[in-house]
């Protein structure tokens, strides 16, 4: 047996459905914008994703410090406040040793930015001749899958040499100084050459992680 809804009942039903839809959208926006407390030792790697949301504690690097021996690729970069302060101290100490400048090209990366980097890498891997079925895994050895990047924490930093490329950092005096003294300021070379089988990431001498 079917029952016909009266007009007031229909209006009430539509109103309830609309209210539920608004509540769902609001909840989804809240989840997307949720601030995640991040510990400087949080493990984010190919097997451990960053929780959904944006890390708490991010600051604009350019607005937070003034350091002549630290050059930023742009003024929009964000990172964790305590890491930024340590980075400035390290760059200043480097300058006192007549080394530098330290050229920062990447810090915090949003999930959207990570998606763009990863998809771009996948396409380049395919263009190089790798079968499509293998392309994503091959790309992930060099560019983290979205959500699995240490840059999402705000505690990871990439540096370049004078020509602006990552590879040239390894040949610079700044790299040699950081390799010797970085730990004194809380920074490590996160992906050393001899640990690729453990980290799941290729050797990246330009990638530093602040661990305090």
In this structure, what DSSP letter does residue 153 have? G
| Cβ density class 180-210: b for 16+ within 10 Å, e for less | eebeebbbebbbeeeeeeeeebeebbbbbbb
The structure's pTM equals: 0.82
Q: ∠ CA(202), CA(142), CA(154), 5° rounding?
A: 95
36 bridge partner residues = 55
Using CA atoms of 139, 144, 146, 149 in order, give the dihedral in degrees to the nearest 10: -170
pLDDT at 29: 45
Q: Which residue out of 132, 136, 193, 204 is catalytically annotated?
A: 204
Look-up of token digits 């070379």: 189
Q: Report which of 141, 193, 140, 150 is spatially closest to residue 170, judged by C-alpha positions.
A: 193
pLDDT at 20: 42
* CA distance linking residue 210 with residue 208, whole number of Å: 7
Question: Within its chain, how far is the Cα of 179 from the centroid?
Answer: 22
pLDDT at 34: 85
97 bridge partner residues = none
- In the chain, which residues have pLDDT < 70? 1-33
| E strand map for 40-120 | 54-55, 58-60, 70-72, 78-80, 102-106
pLDDT at 33: 61
Is 92 labeled as catalytic in the residue annotation?
no
Question: Within its chain, how far is the Cα of 164 from the centroid?
Answer: 19
pLDDT at 122: 96
Q: Half-sphere exposure of 162 toward its Cβ, with a 13 Å CA cutoff?
A: 6
């Amino acid at each position: 047996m079917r029952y016909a809804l009266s007009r007031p009942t229909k209006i009430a039903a539509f109103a309830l459905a609309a209210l539920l839809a608004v509540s769902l959208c609001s909840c989804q926006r809240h989840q997307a914008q949720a601030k995640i407390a991040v510990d400087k030792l949080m493990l984010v790697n190919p097997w451990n994703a960053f929780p959904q949301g944006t890390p708490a504690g991010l600051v604009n690097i350019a607005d937070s410090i003034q350091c002549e021996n630290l050059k930023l690729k742009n003024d929009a970069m964000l990172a964790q406040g305590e890491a930024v302060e340590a980075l400035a101290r390290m760059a200043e100490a480097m300058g006192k040793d007549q080394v530098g400048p330290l050229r920062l090209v990447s810090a915090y990366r949003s999930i959207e930015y990570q998606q763009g980097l990863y998809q771009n890498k996948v396409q380049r891997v395919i263009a190089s001749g790798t079968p499509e079925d293998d392309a994503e895994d091959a790309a992930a050895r060099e560019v983290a899958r979205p959500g699995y990047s240490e840059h999402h924490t705000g505690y990871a930093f990439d540096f370049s040499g004078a020509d602006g490329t990552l590879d040239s950092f390894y040949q610079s005096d700044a790299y040699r100084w950081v390799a010797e003294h970085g730990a004194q300021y809380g920074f490590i070379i996160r992906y050393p050459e001899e640990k690729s089988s453990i980290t799941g990431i290729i050797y990246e001498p330009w990638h530093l992680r602040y661990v305090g």
